[in-house]
Amino acid sequence: MSTREEKFEAMLQSVQREYETTLQKMEKLKGEGKEKTATYRQLMGDKLMLQNILSRYKIYGLLD
- b/e per residue, 19-55, with b = 16+ CB within 10 A? beebeebbeebeeeeeeeeeebeebeebbeebeeebe
The tens digit of pLDDT for each residue in 25-44 reads 999 999 999 999 999 999 99
- Please report whether residue 49 resides in a domain: yes
On whether the CB atoms of residues 11 and 50 are closer than 8 A, the answer is no
Q: How many domains does the chain have?
A: 1
**Which residues constitute the domain of residue 60?**
17-64
From CA 19, how far away is CA 49, in angstroms rounded?
9
- Please report whether residue 55 resides in a domain: yes
Single pTM value for the model? 0.89
pLDDT at site 62? 85
- Please report whether residue 60 resides in a domain: yes
Handedness of CA 41, 25, 50, 14 (dihedral sign): positive
